[in-house]
């Protein structure tokens, strides 16, 4: 959506299933495929966090993990009309 | 035209004729920038939708029917003017001042309407930096499928710059774009651009907030049922990705694709290779018939024609490899391959972004090394450059083709396919081993490793684009290979023909034994002994340092093969079977041929690769290390192979 205010809030903001409970529960890395969540903040090492912001992972944005590469490889995340692949360590910088 | 900085062209090829505009194309990866470049210039340069594939700049003149006198400059894709990798740094610098062409008069920023907010992030930076900008918006059709239309007038007023919706594939909007470019150049006074990029997280968010507000204002709902929320990617891409990125099926498709490509290289190419082979054999016979009994005839037929023929034979295999890569690039699958390979490559110290350079490395190490500029992490970039010469490049195909044809029995041609597959796997294993060793002991991790890559929407590959790219690459290969082959073939032919020449009549053995090459060769004999070979192969191996494929034509010369109307390869294989060492034992056996295969898998024999690796890595130690270490290891492994195979009871 063009602005954050336009999005209805029922998309699972902070909603957690039992699977997600734990230290990574509130990061994008713990979100199951197909579930749309809203970015809360981007943390972690400043270079990585800055690059994530520049790619469009800004707080308030809706993102949907769509697939993960096998053996713990990168996750593909739908964002702003496109798909971006991130390592799970980088997805963990994105708090949702 | 208001400004022509350069009176008269300095360099005719690259200089800007007075009165011509210099237009730079800028835009995020996969925005359709290179397709626009092709449409504007009618250039033969390829279009790619893998980020950073446009490593080198392409420069071309705008087509006359567009009605603007302009030179157009294409460059690698940019997410932001904040450079993150070496190729981005070069691109940003060149946007402000191209080393040879100067500062562009107009920057045409290309943005994808279906992901406008991301692409407006860059557009705002280019505008803030003070360029004269024309915005070209692509993929409006994709946006309509999502249920929105673009209000281009509103977008132009929000950004205060001209906006032209275009479709470079069909040519829609191109003349409008040209008219706007000319108008801006005439009306807007030029300014000196200055880099203006966000440096703090808050500034990035401000730009994105503005981008979202603009996107919200200019996208008009079409009033039909929309396919999904605006932030969702193209629905066909999503559907395909549920299969192609599936943990099981996705991996299977990937492995089968790779296996299919490398099998096709050996199997599908065979008929075309036979045809080319006979053609050159006939040419050799014709030259001999035209100039009978003269040294000139011998030289032209056995030196030049046979030399070129020995390389041209492998053109079908190279074309298949380039075709496959072209389809993967143009369809958008290549980036998925990078994503699937990130984990395994990270384990050996590389990066998912090393995948595309490594795949290109199977064609040629030189463009592959240049493509490694897209890897942001310096250590991972150096490691990638280090292992690239180990990838089984197309120049080795002639050598392996010949050696495999020698080893495999005539009635079992499928063994050759299996052999080639094993060679490819072997080169990957050795590359992985080299990367692992170097990442443990030489290049330690100093900066955090990262992998962030846009997976572009799938598109139907354009056959015309893929074919054009394939033919230009194949032609490039022939062109590049021909010069060293002709030079080396000339030198080798002279060394093996003189000083005896025609004095010994047609007695090839006597002429060879007394030749300059034989005199030089005695120094090589001790080195070749552990490999079960003799000085003749030593000479062919040295010749291969000019280019690996030269080995085949050099072998034909040192074995004094003359095809005379027969298929070249057939004649060479016969000569290999008949060749004997000084002590009477056969020169080529299964064991010595396997030893040579192993040598060629590992050895770094390409002078151009050495030069490019040194330049791109900025490290002489790396390039010299490659040259020395790979050749020593290759020699040792080859000797071990020969003796192991013999110990197993195979000659």
Question: Do the Cβ atoms of B453 and A48 come within 8 Å?
Answer: no
Question: Do the Cβ atoms of A83 and B233 come within 8 Å?
Answer: yes
Q: Classify residue B520 as left (phi > 0), alpha (psi -120 to 50) or beta.
A: alpha
Above pLDDT 70, what percent of chain B? Answer: 89
pLDDT score for B536: 84
Give the pairing type, strands B58-61 and A94-95.
unpaired
What are the C-alpha distances in Å from B106 to residues B184, B198, B482, B520? 8, 22, 40, 61
Q: Residue B619 has which token pair?
A: 């490290």
Give the residue carrying structure tokens 């060293």.
B484
- CA B248/CA A71 separation, integer angstroms: 11
- CA B432/CA B349 separation, integer angstroms: 9
B138 Cβ under 8 Å from any chain A Cβ: no
Nearest-CB residue to B245 (from A1, A76, A86): A76
Is the interface score ipTM higher than 0.90? no
More confident residue, B649 or B113: B113
Q: Per mean pLDDT, which range of B106-115, B125-134, B269-278, B479-488 is the poorest?
A: B479-488
State the DSSP H helix or E strand holding residue B107, giving kind and residue range, or none if neither: strand B106-112
What b/e string do you get for B578-612 counting C-beta neighbours within 10 Å, with b at 16 or more? Answer: ebebeeeeebbbebbbbbbbbbbbbbbbbeebbeb
Identify whether B499 is preceded by a cis peptide bond (ω within 30 of 0).
yes
Question: Do the Cβ atoms of B80 and A54 come within 8 Å?
Answer: yes
What are the C-alpha distances in Å from B218 to residues B156, B163, B423? 9, 12, 55
DSSP secondary-structure letter at B102?
A: B
- Identify the closest residue of chain B to A83 by CA–CA distance: B455
| Average pLDDT across chain B, whole number | 83
pLDDT score for B270: 77
Give the pairing type, strands A37-38 and A62-68.
antiparallel
Q: In this model, does residue B409 exceed pLDDT 50?
A: yes
B116 Cβ under 8 Å from any chain A Cβ: yes
- How many other C-beta atoms can be found within 10 angstroms of the C-beta atom of residue B61? 15
Best mutation target, B452, B453, B454, B459, to test chain A (most A CBs within 10 A): B452
Question: Do the Cβ atoms of B247 and A68 come within 8 Å?
Answer: yes
Decide if B373 contacts B615 (C-beta within 8 A).
Answer: no
Question: Do the Cβ atoms of A51 and B251 come within 8 Å?
Answer: no
Q: Per mean pLDDT, which range of B38-52, B335-349, B423-437, B458-472 is the poorest?
A: B38-52
Chain B residues in contact with A84 (beta carbon < 8 A) = 452-455
- CA B208/CA B640 separation, integer angstroms: 61
Chain A residues in contact with B140 (beta carbon < 8 A) = none
Q: In this model, does residue B137 exceed pLDDT 50?
A: yes
Hey, which residues 139-158 in chain B have their CB within 8 Å of chain A?
146
Chain B residues in contact with A73 (beta carbon < 8 A) = 339-340, 342-343
Mean pLDDT of the region B327-342: 91
Q: Residue A28 has which token pair?
A: 């994008």
Q: In this model, does residue B342 exceed pLDDT 60?
A: yes
Chain B residues in contact with A58 (beta carbon < 8 A) = 204-205, 208-209
Chain A residues in contact with B204 (beta carbon < 8 A) = 50, 53-54, 58
Question: Do the Cβ atoms of A69 and B339 come within 8 Å?
Answer: yes
Angle (deg, nearest 10), helices B201-218 and B116-128 = 120
pLDDT score for B277: 81
pLDDT score for B2: 34
Q: In this model, does residue B6 exceed pLDDT 90?
A: no
Question: Do the Cβ atoms of B247 and A1 come within 8 Å?
Answer: no
- CA B457/CA B331 separation, integer angstroms: 8
Nearest-CB residue to A70 (from B238, B247, B352): B247
Question: Do the Cβ atoms of B241 and A86 come within 8 Å?
Answer: no
Question: Do the Cβ atoms of B212 and A3 come within 8 Å?
Answer: yes
User: Binning pLDDT at 50, 70 and 90, where does residue B480 land?
Assistant: low
Q: In this model, does residue B585 exceed pLDDT 90?
A: no
pLDDT score for B412: 74
Above pLDDT 90, what percent of chain B? Answer: 32
State the DSSP H helix or E strand holding residue B471, giving kind and residue range, or none if neither: helix B463-497
- CA A9/CA A5 separation, integer angstroms: 9
User: Binning pLDDT at 50, 70 and 90, where does residue A21 land?
Assistant: very low
C-alpha closest to that of A75 among A65, A83, A61: A65
Mean pLDDT of the region B338-352: 93
| Predicted TM-score of the model (pTM) | 0.81
Chain A residues in contact with B113 (beta carbon < 8 A) = none
User: Bridge-partner residues for A68, per DSSP?
Assistant: A75
Q: In this model, does residue B247 exceed pLDDT 80?
A: yes
Q: In this model, does residue B15 exceed pLDDT 80?
A: no
Q: Using one digit for the tens of pLDDT, what is the confidence trace for A37-88?
A: 999 999 888 889 999 999 999 999 999 999 999 888 999 999 998 999 999 9
Question: Do the Cβ atoms of B216 and A45 come within 8 Å?
Answer: no
Q: Using one digit for the tens of pLDDT, what is the confidence trace for B561-572?
A: 765 656 677 788
Q: Using one digit for the tens of pLDDT, what is the confidence trace for B353-382?
A: 999 889 888 877 877 887 788 888 889 999
pLDDT score for B500: 66
Q: Using one digit for the tens of pLDDT, what is the confidence trace for B63-88?
A: 888 888 888 888 788 999 998 888 78
- Domains defined along chain B, listed by start: 4-221 (3.40.50.300)
Give the pairing type, strands A62-68 and B148-150.
unpaired
Nearest-CB residue to B454 (from A73, A82, A90): A82
pLDDT score for A15: 38
Q: Using one digit for the tens of pLDDT, what is the confidence trace for B199-210?
A: 999 999 999 999
User: What contacts A59, CB < 8 A, 6 or more positions away?
Assistant: A39, A40, A41, A42, B205
Q: In this model, does residue B626 exceed pLDDT 90?
A: yes
User: Bridge-partner residues for A41, per DSSP?
Assistant: A95
Give the residue carrying structure tokens 């002991």.
B441
pLDDT score for B66: 85
Best mutation target, A44, A83, A90, to test chain B (most B CBs within 10 A): A83
Chain A residues in contact with B28 (beta carbon < 8 A) = none
- Identify the closest residue of chain B to A6 by CA–CA distance: B216
pLDDT score for B353: 92
pLDDT score for B472: 72
- CA B100/CA B7 separation, integer angstroms: 14
User: Binning pLDDT at 50, 70 and 90, where does residue B19 land?
Assistant: low
Q: Using one digit for the tens of pLDDT, what is the confidence trace for B496-517?
A: 777 766 665 556 666 667 778 7
Give the residue carrying structure tokens 């049922």.
B225
B437 Cβ under 8 Å from any chain A Cβ: no
SS3 labels along B196-245: CCCCCHHHHHHHHHHHHHHHHHHEEECCCCCCCCCCCCCHHHHHHHHHHC
Q: Residue B586 has which token pair?
A: 């056969």
pLDDT score for B359: 85
A66 Cα to chain B: minimum distance (Å): 8
Chain A residues in contact with B115 (beta carbon < 8 A) = 80-82
More confident residue, B269 or B328: B328
- CA A34/CA A12 separation, integer angstroms: 12
- CA A93/CA A42 separation, integer angstroms: 6
Mean pLDDT of the region B645-649: 89
Instruction: For CA atoms B289, B290, B295, B299, give the dihedral sign.
Output: negative
What b/e string do you get for B136-161 counting C-beta neighbours within 10 Å, with b at 16 or more? Answer: bbbbbebbebbbbbbebeebbebbeb
Nearest-CB residue to A67 (from B204, B219, B245): B245
Question: Do the Cβ atoms of B216 and A69 come within 8 Å?
Answer: no
Hey, which residues 15-44 in chain B have their CB within 8 Å of chain A?
30
B172 Cβ under 8 Å from any chain A Cβ: no
B50 Cβ under 8 Å from any chain A Cβ: no
User: Binning pLDDT at 50, 70 and 90, where does residue B636 land?
Assistant: very high
Q: Using one digit for the tens of pLDDT, what is the confidence trace for B40-64?
A: 887 544 433 333 344 456 778 888 8
- Identify the closest residue of chain B to A89 by CA–CA distance: B450
User: Binning pLDDT at 50, 70 and 90, where does residue A11 land?
Assistant: very low
pLDDT score for B227: 53
pLDDT score for B410: 73
Nearest-CB residue to B231 (from A55, A59, A78): A78
Mean pLDDT of the region B463-473: 78
Mean pLDDT of the region B113-117: 92
Q: Per mean pLDDT, which range of A20-24, B267-271, B306-310 is the poorest?
A: A20-24
- CA B112/CA B139 separation, integer angstroms: 6
Mean pLDDT of the region B447-458: 89
B245 Cβ under 8 Å from any chain A Cβ: yes
């Amino acid at each position: 959506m063009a602005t954050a205010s336009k999005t209805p809030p029922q998309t699972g903001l902070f909603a957690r299933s039992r699977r997600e409970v734990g230290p990574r529960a509130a990061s994008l890395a713990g979100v199951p495929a197909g579930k749309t969540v809203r970015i809360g903040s981007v943390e972690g090492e400043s270079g990585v966090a800055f690059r994530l912001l520049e790619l469009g992972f800004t707080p308030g944005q809706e993102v949907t993990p769509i697939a993960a590469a096998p053996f713990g490889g990168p996750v593909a995340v739908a964002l702003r009309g496109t798909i971006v692949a991130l390592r799970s360590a980088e997805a963990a910088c994105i708090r949702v | 035209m208001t400004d022509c900085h350069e009176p008269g062209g300095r360099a005719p090829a690259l200089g800007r004729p007075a009165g011509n505009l210099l237009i730079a194309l800028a835009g995020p990866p996969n925005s359709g920038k290179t397709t626009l470049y092709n449409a504007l210039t009618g250039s033969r340069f390829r279009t790619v939708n893998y980020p950073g594939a446009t490593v080198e700049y392409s420069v071309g003149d705008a087509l006359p029917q567009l009605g603007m006198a302009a030179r157009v400059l294409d460059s690698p894709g940019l997410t932001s003017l904040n450079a993150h990798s070496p190729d981005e740094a070069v691109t940003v610098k060149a946007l402000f001042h191209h080393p040879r062409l100067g500062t562009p008069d107009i920057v045409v920023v290309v943005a994808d309407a279906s992901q406008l907010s991301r692409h407006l992030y860059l557009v705002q930076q280019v505008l803030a930096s003070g360029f004269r900008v024309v915005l070209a918006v692509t993929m409006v059709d994709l946006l309509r499928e999502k249920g929105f239309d673009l209000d281009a007038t509103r977008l132009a007023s929000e950004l205060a710059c001209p906006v032209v919706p275009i479709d470079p594939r069909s040519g829609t909007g191109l003349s409008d774009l040209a008219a706007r470019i000319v108008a801006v150049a005439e009306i807007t006074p030029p300014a000196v651009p200055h880099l203006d990029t966000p440096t703090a997280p808050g500034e990035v968010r401000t730009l994105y907030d503005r981008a979202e507000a603009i996107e919200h204002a200019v996208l008009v709902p079409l009033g039909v049922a929309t396919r999904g929320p605006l932030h969702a990617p193209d629905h066909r891409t999503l559907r395909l990705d549920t299969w192609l990125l599936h943990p099981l099926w996705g991996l299977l498709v990937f492995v089968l694709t790779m296996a299919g490509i490398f099998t096709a290289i050996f199997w599908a190419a065979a008929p075309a290779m036979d045809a080319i082979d006979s053609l050159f054999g006939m040419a050799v016979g014709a030259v001999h018939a035209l100039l009978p009994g003269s040294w000139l005839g011998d030289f032209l037929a056995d030196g030049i024609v046979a030399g070129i023929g020995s390389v041209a034979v492998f053109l079908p295999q190279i074309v298949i490899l380039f075709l496959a890569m072209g389809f993967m690039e143009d369809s958008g699958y290549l980036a998925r391959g990078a994503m699937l390979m990130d984990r395994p490559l990270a384990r050996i110290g590389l990066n998912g972004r090393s995948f595309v350079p490594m795949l290109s490395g199977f064609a040629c190490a030189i463009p592959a090394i240049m493509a490694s500029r897209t890897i942001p992490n310096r250590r991972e970039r150096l490691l990638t450059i280090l292992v690239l010469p180990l990838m089984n490049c197309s120049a080795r195909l002639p050598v392996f083709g010949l050696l495999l044809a020698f080893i495999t029995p005539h009635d079992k041609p499928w063994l050759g396919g299996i052999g080639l597959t094993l060679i490819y796997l072997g080169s990957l294993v050795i590359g992985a081993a080299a990367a692992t060793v170097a990442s443990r002991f030489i290049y330690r991790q100093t900066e955090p490793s990262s992998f962030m890559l846009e997976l572009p929407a799938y598109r139907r590959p354009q056959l015309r684009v893929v074919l054009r790219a394939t033919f230009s690459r194949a032609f490039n290969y022939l062109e590049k290979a021909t010069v060293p082959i002709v030079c080396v073939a000339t030198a080798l032919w002279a060394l093996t023909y003189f000083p005896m020449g025609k004095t010994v009549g047609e007695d090839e053995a006597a002429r060879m034994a007394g030749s300059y090459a034989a005199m030089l060769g005695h120094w090589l004999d001790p080195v070749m002994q552990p490999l079960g070979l003799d000085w003749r192969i030593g000479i062919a191996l040295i010749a291969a340092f000019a280019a690996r494929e030269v080995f085949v034509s050099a072998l034909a010369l040192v074995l004094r093969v003359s095809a005379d109307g027969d298929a070249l390869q057939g004649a060479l294989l016969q000569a290999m079977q008949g060749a004997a060492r000084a002590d009477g034992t056969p020169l080529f056996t299964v064991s010595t041929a396997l030893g040579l295969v192993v040598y060629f898998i590992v050895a770094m024999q390409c002078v151009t690769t050495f030069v490019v690796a040194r330049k791109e890595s900025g490290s002489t130690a790396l390039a010299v290390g490659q040259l020395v270490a790979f050749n020593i290891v290759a020699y040792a492994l080859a000797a071990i192979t020969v003796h192991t195979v013999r110990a197993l009871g195979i000659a």
